[in-house]
Amino acid sequence: MIEGTGCDLVRISRIDRYLDQLETRILSQADRRLAAGFSRKRRLEFAAGRFALKESLVKAFHGTRTAGSFLIETGESGQPVVVGERLRISCSVSHDGEYAMAWVVVES
């Protein structure tokens, strides 16, 4: 049964001057290590995608949770994985030009 859905769109350039703080706040330690090897452009895309995903999760949980309460890591195939949740969460992140978009479906 679907418990909630969420979607968010982020303009990547919007986070440029906040990149270091945003990475510290929203990325897991494993994802921070991964992103450290990226170019600045790719780090911006990655952080914007994770930010959009966390905002989508807040929406899918109808605002009963905060973005900081979710742990997202990168799966073996590069896909985002929400870790430590008892509900089934399907999610996807996409990038195109200046935008990063994420969607989430939460099922019981």
Burial class (CB in 10 A: 0-12, 13-18, 19+), 97: exposed
Q: Any catalytic annotation for residue 59?
A: yes
Tokens of 66: 């905060």
Question: Does an H or E element contain 11, and which?
Answer: strand 2-11
Which of 41, 54, 59, 62 does the annotation list as catalytic? 59
Which of 41, 54, 62, 95 does the annotation list as catalytic? 95
Q: Any catalytic annotation for residue 95?
A: yes
Q: Catalytic residues, which ones?
A: 59, 95
